[in-house]
Amino acid sequence: MTAVVPAAPPAAAGPEPDPPSARRTRRLTPYWLLLPAGLWLAVFFAAPLVYQASTSVQSGSLEEGFRVTWEFSHYTDALAAYGPHFLRSFAYAAIATALCLLIGYPLAYMTAFRAGRWRNLVLVAVIAPFFTSFLIRTLAWKTILSDGGPVVGALDALHVLDVTGALGLTGDTRLLATPLAVVCGLTYNFLPFMILPLYSSLERIDPTLHEAARDLYATPAATFRKVTFPLSLPGVVAGTLLTFIPASGDYINAQLLGSPAEQMIGNAIQKQFLNVLDYPAAAAMSFLLMALILIVVSVYLRKAGTEELV
């Protein structure tokens, strides 16, 4: 007797392939999403940069007109004439960045781990200076550091200005129009740019790592040195970049809080553009500043080992 074997059920039909138009649309969607940002960068960044580059190799005057002559003497002349301005700008920016890190790290640490229900209030206080103009904040510092202001009066009573004046940081009995005033203004104005990245980096640290360190009998100092600070290095790098780069090109603080002896490269560029009306020289100085900042940042990122931080 022959056994009857039931027929196998028909195989389930697979999903139908997408039509070519759907695949093409899915493939082009990311490019369409990038188009607005690309157009914005092309119009407001790339085009002005190209125009500025062409201006830096022009010759002529405002009355006779400028024409491209591929003359690169503006670059060498700028380095020879304004070398001290470049060095002063980077020195002020580096000092202000270091002060922002020293002030901002403890505040960001306390906000991330100790503020509790006051955290949002602290963050609002950090962001609050952005609600006013950069110029107004600097003018406020000009009033605070003025010769008849409370700061000078208190320091003069304590004879602090005599010591700082001997060190060349201030005048004999004043703070305004000194390198110290310029650095104070830079530090205050760019401090939020340091605090916010630091807070973001510290706030993402897993609390269980601190608990594990305590379980292994690590002291608070050892926990900070071996756990907290290494994990916060991305915020340190981001904060230092966000502070140093704009501080290097700043000119408002030196203009309002300093004297002609404390002028930065931004002041020299502003003078060439608006007073001397030497547009090729100003464009060349701007390109030199941008190139030097890129070199400094590249060296810093290489030394910081950012490929191991992210």
Cα–Cα dist 186/44, whole Å: 27
Which candidate, 91, 258, 109, 98, places its Cα nearest to that of 187?
A: 98
Confidence of residue 169 (pLDDT cuts 50, 70, 90): low
Fold of 88-257: MetI-like fold (1.10.3720)
> What is the model's pLDDT at position 43?
92
Q: Could you tell me where the beta strands, DSSP code E, fall in the chain?
A: 58-61, 65-68
Mean per-residue pLDDT, 167-185: 77
Amino acid 4: pLDDT? 58
Residue pair 97/240 in contact by the 8 Å Cβ criterion:
yes
In this structure, what DSSP letter does residue 65 have? Answer: E
pLDDT value at 310 more than 50: no
CB 203 within 8 A of CB 249: no
- Among candidate residues 81, 61, 78, the one with its CA nearest the CA of residue 69: 61
Per-domain residue ranges of the chain: 88-257
3-state helix, strand, coil in the chain (%, to 5): 75, 5, 25
Asked which of 34-38, 47-51, 62-66 is least confident by mean pLDDT, the reply is 62-66
